Structures are given as C-alpha cells and as structure tokens.
Amino acid sequence: MSTSTTEPVRDSESVRASEPARGSGDAPELTFDVLVIGWGKGGKTLAATLGGAGKRVGMVEQFDTMHGGTCINIGCVPTKTLVHDAEQRREDDDAQQFWARAVERRDTVVGKMRDVNHHMLADLDAVTLIDGRARFTAERTVQVTGGDDVLTASADVVIVNTGATPTRPDLPGIDSPRVHDSTSVQHVDPLPARLTVIGAGPIGLEFASMFAGYGADVTLVNRRERLLPDEDEDVAAEVTSVLEGDGIHVLHEASAVRIEDGAGSGNSTASEDSSASGSSSASENSSASAVVVLRVGSEERRIEADAILLATGRRPATDDLGLEQAGIDVDERGAIVVDEHLRTSAENVYAIGDVHGGSQQTYLSLDDFRIVLSQLQGDGERTTTDRVAVPTTTFLTPPLAAVGLTAGEALAAGRDVLVASQKTATIKAMPRPKAVGDPRGIVKFVVDARTDEILGARLFHVDAQEVINLVALAMRTGTTATQLKNGIWTHPASTESLNETLGKLEPLEG
C-alpha cells in the first residue's frame, strides 16, 4: 500500500479524483459496512475485529505517520520511552549525546510499532486503508481529500475516532520557533539547557520531570496555588518536594503574558529565580533564546529559556470535520456529544476515544471499542456507566498513580473514613524502592470505616503504575482493605506496601 499523505489511497493503488467514479459524481465512491475515521486504539481494534469477521471496513487516517494512533506515535509509548531513558542517565554522561541516543531509540521503537499496527489492518482483505483528510458531507458519508485528489466514502455505520490536539493559548509571540507542543518537543534539537514548561497538568509534570532527568534546567509555570489542586495536600506536597529536589523551579500562581525574542546563548543564566546547571547538558551551540514574560501574583517576571513547552491541555479534534453536515452535535469545547452507548445524535454514527471529551486515556479508548462492539455484534448492554475504579498514572520519576476518591472527597461525600499514609522510605515491608535506588514518594489509602471498602488510593513510588491496577481490581471486585493487607505478595516487591500501610488505618475527622 502507498503511504503518501498527499493522496487518498485505497489498497495498493491511488484513487484519484480524475479516475472513473463508481456511481454518480466526479469523485471515486467507496462503500463499506463500517467506516472508521482516525486510527487510534479503539478505532484500529474495532477495524481489525470487524474486518477479521468479514465486514467491509474502511479506515481513514490523515497522516501515514499516525498509523496506529496517537499512543504509539506521539503519546504514551514514545514519551514513556524517553522517560525511561532519562532515568538511566548518570551525572558523568554527556547529556546532549545521551538525549540524541534516547530520541533515536524512541524513533526505532515507534517505527517498529507503527509497522506492526499498519499490517494489523493492511493484511486483512476486508479492510481498506485510505490516507487523507475526511469531512462529512452527509450523515454517514465523508469526502476524503489528499492534495488535489478527492474520493467519497459512505457506510452503514461510521465511527469517529479523531482524538485530540494540543491547545494553543492566544499569547503574543506564541509562534516563536522556540515554542513547542508535546509532540515537537520530543525531537527538540539540541537538548535545551533551559526549558520553561507552561502548564502543570499531567503532561507538563511528566515533561518537566523527564527533561530534568536529561539535565535541563526546568522552570514549571503553574497557575494554581499549588500543584495537583484536586489531590490531598500531603500527596501534592510530596510530589512538589520530589520535583523541586530534582532541580525543577516551580512557580505558583503564575501565568504567561507573552513570549519575546531573547539574545542570550545557551550558557547564560537560566532565570532570575535560578542559575543554570552548568553541566554538559547545556545546548552549547545555541545562539538565541526566548523570554517568557509571566505574571506571578502581582508581579511581572521574565524567564529566559532555550525552549518553551506549551502543556496547556488538549481538546477534541473536531475542527473542519463537517459534523454539522451529518447532524452530529458537539458541546462548548467541541467534543462530540454521546450517550452511554457512545451513540452520537446522528443515526448509526458513534464517537470513541478522546474526541468525545472526558478523561483522555488509551485504555478508555479500548473500552470504547468494547462498548461499540457490543452494539454492533453483541447484546448492546455494555455502557460507559460500567466503568468503576478507573486508575490513572502520571509518569513522573517515580510514577504517581491514583484511583478512586481522595480523603477530602470521601469526607465531602459523607463517608466515615479511615486513612493510612506513609512516606515510601519509611515502609519497612517494602524494600524494593530502596533496592533500585529511589525510595522517594508516599502511599495513601482511603477506606470506608463501616464496610472496609477501599474508596481510593494514591501511590507515588517505584512500580506505582503496576500496583495501582491491583488496587483498582480490588475496588471493582469488592476485595476489602483487610484482604489486601493480609495478602501474600512476592518479595521484594512494591506490592508489599499493602501489607504494612493498610495496617495503619486511622479515623479521619472532617
């Protein structure tokens, strides 16, 4: 199959607007049982499953570099590959060379996974791949454009799976070549000696932690009074302490006003709040910089940087999809409105993944696949309301994982609450973080005092991204805090924190 991004293509040959059309009109016309727009986790899994069952499936993707979806190409997999490599760097490693090798490995991992994902659909006879930009012209009909070439595709069922894109605030100077989003910063060259991250949500926190690991002098701009304002204060304080201990300068109640050109080199002072690290991480060949002008409280402050990362969130990618032509409703943020079965306002049109708003997680897109498959081939009973105790992980070093209620949320809900909280370094039954050289963090559980039900957990430690899945499963299956406390776990393992921490539950007064 051709992988041109300038032509809409079908199977092994290009379909051009000038070729004879099948049906009426000038553009070639393709018909399918199911048409999927966007090659994300849920979309590709649905296409593979239905195509494998003999359904005629069309898969439209705007860019050949996105075959496989956001997660494997520019999201979860490449960023966590870079996070892992940052954790392997030692002080005497040349940071610039180390970064270059890490980016090369990132690209190798992505390339292999993209190829596998491409073939999972391209090798199915019932699936047709179409590269180009889709736009609805009717309820279940789209026009796909690539360069000067156009084709029309229609189907009995259409799945919109176009994901989300980074938001870009309207700031003077935002078009500076020094400004990056979460995609472009993965290939920033050279490694910036000074990086300013605007936005302290999960993406901002992850990249700040990661680039600090590579040796960059990082300033994190947080518009709130503290980091993680939705978390309990002790958890947020521990995360802040770890980030600051890694040399990250956190500015609270700060917002960007504008971005200006700077004249400094990569070796000049990092900011008026801190000095540059002075290590070989500095991009010594840098000849220019940018200045981020901030409002911090009532003061204006200027931060000089070699690179700026905008981590101000992501929004559903629905611009210019022609949704109004299909009768598909969107909300005020541009997210496609769906019901609990992921049905849109248009008949037999579904929306899955980040495009319908809510939590943007690959594993939720996979669950969206299950819900839609239940509609198309099952009993139709599976819905979004079935989701209970969905965990999340922010891949700091160490990772911060969460599931369920915070202590504050549980009290506000009127629950009688027991809480257990321990610094990771103090948990005697959990030697693994010490063994691997990173005992930082905190473990916190919230338990219903009457039922022994686990209401929530915050795990900030080595292996937290794995242990949180066990806790989430316990919450979904009704496994009690006492049962987890008395569980038999391998040794040494981070899971052993459950034995000790859940033995320290105490009442929490409102």
Q: What is the pLDDT of residues 307-327, one digit of tens each?
A: 999 999 999 999 999 999 999
Share of the chain above pLDDT 70, in %: 90
Arithmetic mean of pLDDT, 212-227: 98
Catalytic residue among 118, 119, 341, 491: 491
* Residue 266: pLDDT over 60: no
Whole-number average pLDDT of the chain = 91
* Residue 20: pLDDT over 90: no
Q: How many CA atoms lie within 13 A of 156 on its CB side?
A: 7
Arithmetic mean of pLDDT, 1-16: 36
Amino acid 119: pLDDT: 97
Position with higher pLDDT, 12 vs 182: 182
Model confidence band, residue 510 (pLDDT cutoffs 50, 70, 90): low
Arithmetic mean of pLDDT, 49-57: 97
366-376 pLDDT, tens digit each = 999 999 999 99
Reported for 88-95, long-range contacts at CB under 8 A and 24+ positions apart, including other chains, are 89/213, 89/214, 89/215, 91/279, 94/280, 95/191, 95/214, 95/215, 95/216, 95/279, 95/280, 95/281
* Residue 107: pLDDT over 90: yes
* Residue 72: pLDDT over 90: yes
Predicted TM-score of the model (pTM): 0.90
Arithmetic mean of pLDDT, 15-30: 50
Span of 74-88, 265-279, 283-297 with lowest mean pLDDT: 265-279
Annotation marks residue 341 as catalytic: no
Q: Where are the beta strands (DSSP E) in 88-148?
A: 127-131, 133-138, 141-146
φ and ψ at 63, to 5 degrees? Answer: -125, 135
Amino acid 459: pLDDT: 98
CATH topology of domain 392-508: Enolase-like; domain 1 (3.30.390)
Helical (H) or strand (E) element with 12: none
Task: Determine contact, residues 136/142, Cβ cutoff 8 Å.
Answer: yes
Residue in 127, 132, 76 with CA at minimum distance from that of residue 106 = 76
For residues 446 and 452, what is the distance between their CA atoms, to the nearest angstrom?
10
Amino acid 264: pLDDT: 52
* Residue 282: pLDDT over 50: no
Tokens of 86: 């940052």
For residues 467 and 496, what is the distance between their CA atoms, to the nearest angstrom?
10
Model confidence band, residue 146 (pLDDT cutoffs 50, 70, 90): confident
> How distant is the alpha carbon of residue 377 from its chain centre?
30
* Residue 177: pLDDT over 50: yes
Chain region(s) in the chain for CATH 3.50.50.60: 9-165+315-386, 179-310
* Residue 283: pLDDT over 70: no
Helical (H) or strand (E) element with 338: none
Arithmetic mean of pLDDT, 211-237: 98
Whether residue 492 has a cis bond before it, omega within 30° of 0 = yes
For residues 463 and 339, what is the distance between their CA atoms, to the nearest angstrom?
36
Task: Determine contact, residues 122/59, Cβ cutoff 8 Å.
Answer: no
* Residue 364: pLDDT over 50: yes
Amino acid 27: pLDDT: 66
Amino acid 172: pLDDT: 96
* Residue 28: pLDDT over 90: no
DSSP label at residue 472: H
Model confidence band, residue 225 (pLDDT cutoffs 50, 70, 90): very high
Span of 160-164, 203-207, 288-292 with lowest mean pLDDT: 288-292
* Residue 274: pLDDT over 90: no
For residues 192 and 215, what is the distance between their CA atoms, to the nearest angstrom?
9
Residue in 157, 150, 103 with CA at minimum distance from that of residue 7 = 150
Task: For 9-165+315-386, give the CATH class.
Answer: alpha beta
Model confidence band, residue 287 (pLDDT cutoffs 50, 70, 90): very low
Task: Determine contact, residues 166/29, Cβ cutoff 8 Å.
Answer: no
- CATH number for 179-310: choose from 3.40.50.1980, 3.50.50.60, 3.10.580.10, 3.40.50.720: 3.50.50.60
> Looking at the chain, how many residues does it have?
510
| CA distances from residue 30 to 130, 132, 201, 392 in whole angstroms, order as listed | 10, 14, 42, 40
Share of the chain above pLDDT 90, in %: 87
Tokens of 152: 């029309």
433-465 pLDDT, tens digit each = 999 999 999 999 999 999 999 999 999 999 999
Arithmetic mean of pLDDT, 391-402: 98
For residues 246 and 242, what is the distance between their CA atoms, to the nearest angstrom?
6
- Amino acid present at 23: G
Q: What secondary structure, in 3-state letters, does 481-494 show?
A: HHHHHCCCCCCCCH
* Residue 278: pLDDT over 80: no
For residues 332 and 228, what is the distance between their CA atoms, to the nearest angstrom?
25
